[in-house]
Structure 1
Amino acid sequence: MSTSRRGFLRGLVGAGAGAAAAGLPGCAPDISPAPVLDAQKESDGTVILQVARYPDLTKEGGAVTLRVPGEQPLLVMHTAEKGANEYKVVSAICTHSGCPLGFQDGEAICPCHLSRFSTDGKVTQAPAKAPLTKYEASFDGVLLTIDFAAGEEGFPSVQNGKIFFPFSSFPELQTAGGRVQGVPEGYGKLIFVFALEGGAYAAVDSLCTHQQCPVSYDESAGDLLCPCHNSRFTKTGDVTRGPDPSGAITIGPLKKFTATSDATGVTLTIS
């Protein structure tokens, strides 16, 4: 499962990253990239790995980059942080410029510009500013289970394909310009809900359609910004700026959810 760093970059995120790899700064450390592993989600939104089958996961300090259809790549790390086998899972793409991450000295490291992240995704060294996405994972001694549908405590969950935001709990949605964001259980990814002018609502997923980096809300501009390649999206998910100033690379809008409201709150349809 070994691979060269340049080949790893091409294989993980395509030719664009491969070209970037050719121009990596000379100061970049000689980081061994996490080998790429493909997996499929179960019907309940989990991925289950039999750890013994993957030498890079059985050893402390080992890691793999996990590719799952429809999801951003994940960095799966064997950390032994509690004195026993411990696995941590975060998004595998640096939030600074979109480079794939390696795992070294107990941290996720970007070979392009030396950004570092703790195993729970927090930035420990710039130039990256935004954290990585953290995923729930459990290990029973044989099987490692990664939960793509886990949600954020206190945030509404998906029920029968819908998410309800009562105004009593989310009063900010009663005023134009209000915003709610979080990770609903049953969906597992960050979403944004916006109260628009005229009483309308918009709701979008957070994954940029270029290389699946998570976008964040830019308070100063009032829109959504991808920190990896500076793409921008409106509150309704439409693209206003792509990753390439020349326009050579075109991308699609963010995933949108149908949002309706009544006197009690806002309901999203998740599909």
Structure 2
Amino acid sequence: MSIKVAALSKSYGAQKALDSITFSVKKGEIVGFLGPNGAGKSTLMKILTTYINADSGTASVNEYDVATQEQLVQKSVGYLPEHNPLYLDLYVKEYLAFNANVYKVAKSRIEEVINLTGLTPESHKKIGQLSKGYRQRVGLANALLHNPDVLILDEPTTGLDPNQLVEIRQLIKNVGKDKTVFLSTHIMQEVEAICDRVIIINKGKIVTDTPLDRLVTEKEQILEVEFDFKVEEQLIAQIPNLVSYKNIHDMTWELVFSAQEDMRPIVFDFANNNGLKTLQLNQKNKNLEAIFREMTQK
């Protein structure tokens, strides 16, 4: 396992930031780590990168224990914290050269990460002259400098404009082809665009740990349908695979199904068989944002 966490807890005074959480991440996965503010996301990332210690439980990265094998963990991890710490007076190449010396990696690696992160057009500038998007690229380039097996990214797209968001997402997705990526974010579209799996944490506890496709597709199928005539409840109840139904207004019904197949053709057939016309049919399946709210507001 690239990341393994077992019964991990951390408190700040009376506040329990992490409450005995357990999960693992396989090599090559891109995992979105979600939760409201104060849920414990940054605390976990700081523990995994050896910045702080847990109160109890264990955690390892690339089979190295974060509490007893700090240097080996640090060599295995590329970390981009939420507030990207950069020296704004240094040139891009100067900053990366400084960190290359710290990591004791070959100078040729600097050009490799500049190309990999799309920094080439701006690499001659001081970091302070760069846009927020390019500063994030510098942070990612620095995280990749020592070619780590695991990338831990804490809110990597905070403050970016829509174009920059797309560029950084694509960059993370490309990097994730041969590395494990553990990604914290508040942006649900980001998770839907790049992640294989979702872990949601709330009040220090994991409330779900599920592959993204299963989390979204296995939820109930919700259809809103309007017929051309008022339909009796007894007739609606005959539609196959119905979990529940509700008359919203006159001839409009909300139908909730539990089924893997698309139920829209079934509703059309029901209308046709009963001499009805379907005036309107809308799918209202829950997206990740709705699922997140549901999980974190219980």
TM bin (shorter chain): under 0.3
| Rg (Cα) greater in structure | 2
Bigger share in helix: 2
User: Taking structure 1 as the reference length, what is the TM-score of the superposition?
Assistant: 0.26
Relative contact order (alpha carbons < 8 A, sep ≥ 6): 1 or 2 greater? 2
In the superposition, the TM-score normalised over structure 2's length comes to 0.24
